[in-house]
Homo-oligomer: A and B are copies of this chain.
Amino acid sequence: MAKFLSIFTMRNLLVLSLALNLSLIMRVFLDGEKQGFFFSVEQRGPSMGEDKEAHATQRTLQSVSSSSGQEGMEKVINLDHGDPTMYEKYWMMMGERTTVVIPGWHSMSYFSDVKNLCWFLEPEFAKQVFRLHRVVGNAVTEGRHIVVGTGSSQLILAALFALSPKDGSEPMSVVSTAPYYSSYPVMSNHLKSGLYVWAGDTRSFNKEGPYIELVTSPNNPDGFVRHSMVNRTGGILVHDLAYYWPQYTPISSPADHDLTLFTVSKATGHAGTRIGWALVKDAEVAKKMVKFIELNTIGVSRDSQLRAAKILEVMTNTTEIGCSDSGESFFEIIYHLMAERWRLLQAAVNNGSMFSLPDFAPGFCHFLQQETQPQPAFAWLKCEDDAVEDCESFLKGHKILTRGGRSFGVSPKYVRISMLDRDINFSLFLKRLSIIQS
């Protein structure tokens, strides 16, 4: 169901602001972190003028500069992983609605649903996945089997197992277009499997015969929309759509592929829950994936599936018609948060000439019913300075941990930087970028 991006009323802003403040205060108590300041989240509609935007950015950067002492500059900021802790404050704002209560005698059996092809899939989780996709419009669910996994990593491995012939004379090639997700090569090769083997960047792949192409869209690390590149006979596609959600990219149409992967960690921010799902067209492929997960972990935590179901349910509820006015819409709030972070990052980068960011084309988002900009979960930053060959090492010298281009099959002039960390770290990161360029 499409939703309209509404300008927040004053009342909504107040409720949101109070909730966020409360959440931040609670974080201080809960984590005991030394948090000298907070990044000010400004919820704004798309109609705000550029001059206001620039002014707001300047103000926030100044506030970051002036309010953080020397202590903050000593702290190592780890933006290497895509740990989605930014999402904590939204769920704190939602209070008890997503609390799960599991009595000791519940969900003890290995089996969730013996009648389902995926016998370890919780029916309630499946129901909420289908409902969420219908509401967001980012994936066709009709005629698909859901295979739940312990995060989408397990599902990638399950897909490689399911799609490789068991009696092949040599391992099936696994390819992806560089820059590709840094874990693909090592996931494919760490067991020296005779079923599949990493064959690198699609652009240099010229081997005859069947292959598996991993298509990550929007792409990790660079955020661009991706399509298959090889397009040869015998190619099997696995679409990793972990980031195909309205907060990161325009939802152009429902994805309609043979095998599509999603994960709770990037959709809702619950990385610690370790739940992902695959939408699989071919029942035989789904069965082989299920077999892999049986051999690998004998199913998937039922507790985690129940928790994920609850969170997806509330998330979808907030986007239903009539909920927008409450100022609670998950996708609207997170979209604005990401927009604000990207605006600040662009401003910090544009303040000098040492760094650059990708140029994204806007697209029409059918969920938000308006043109939106891609605002990926990672910033794919390039060190433009000729003196800097290795951007990761350079930033590490400024106590910013990132992941360098070589891990993704490209030049070390690039680094991947998480945009989903807590406010405190994102603000420190912006501050250090400014200092580096000053």
User: Which residues of A are at the interface with B, using a C-beta cutoff of 8 A?
Assistant: 23, 81, 83-85, 87-89, 91-92, 94-105, 107-112, 150-151, 153-154, 157, 161, 183, 186-187, 190-195, 265, 269-275, 292, 295-304, 307, 310-311, 314
Contact = CB atoms under 8 A, between A and B. Distances in A.
B150 A295 contact: no
Contacts of A85: 108-109
Contacts of A107: 272-273
Contacts of A84: 108-109
A365 B95 CA distance: 49
B88 A111 contact: no
A186 to B, nearest CB: 6
Contacts of A88: 105, 108
Contact of A300 (B96, B193, B274): B274
Nearest to A120: B272
Nearest to A152: B298
B100 A102 contact: yes
A99 B100 CA distance: 10
A161 B189 CA distance: 12
How many subunits of this chain does the assembly comprise?
2
Given A153-B296, A301-B303, A303-B307, A272 B109 contact: yes
A111 B309 CA distance: 22
Contacts of A314: 104
A297 B295 contact: no
A301 B298 contact: no
Contact of A104 (B91, B157, B299, B301): B91
Nearest to A168: B192
A333 to B, nearest CB: 14
Contacts of A161: 190-191
A132 B10 CA distance: 54
15 contacts: A83-B109, A88-B108, A89-B105, A101-B101, A104-B310, A104-B311, A107-B272, A153-B295, A154-B297, A161-B190, A183-B295, A186-B295, A192-B195, A272-B299, A301-B301
A184 to B, nearest CB: 11
A101 B306 CA distance: 12
Contacts of A301: 150, 272-275, 301, 303-304
Contacts of A103: 91, 96, 98-99
Contact of A109 (B111, B183, B271): B271
Nearest to A311: B104
Contact of A298 (B101, B110, B153, B307): B153
Given A102-B100, A192-B195, A108 B271 contact: yes
A187 B161 CA distance: 13
Contacts of A153: 295-298
A91 B102 CA distance: 12
A85 B114 CA distance: 15
Contacts of A265: 110
A270 B303 CA distance: 10
B110 A83 contact: yes
A99 B91 contact: no
A217 to B, nearest CB: 20
Contacts of A295: 153, 183, 186-187, 190
Given A101-B99, A108-B88, A193-B191, A298 B273 contact: no
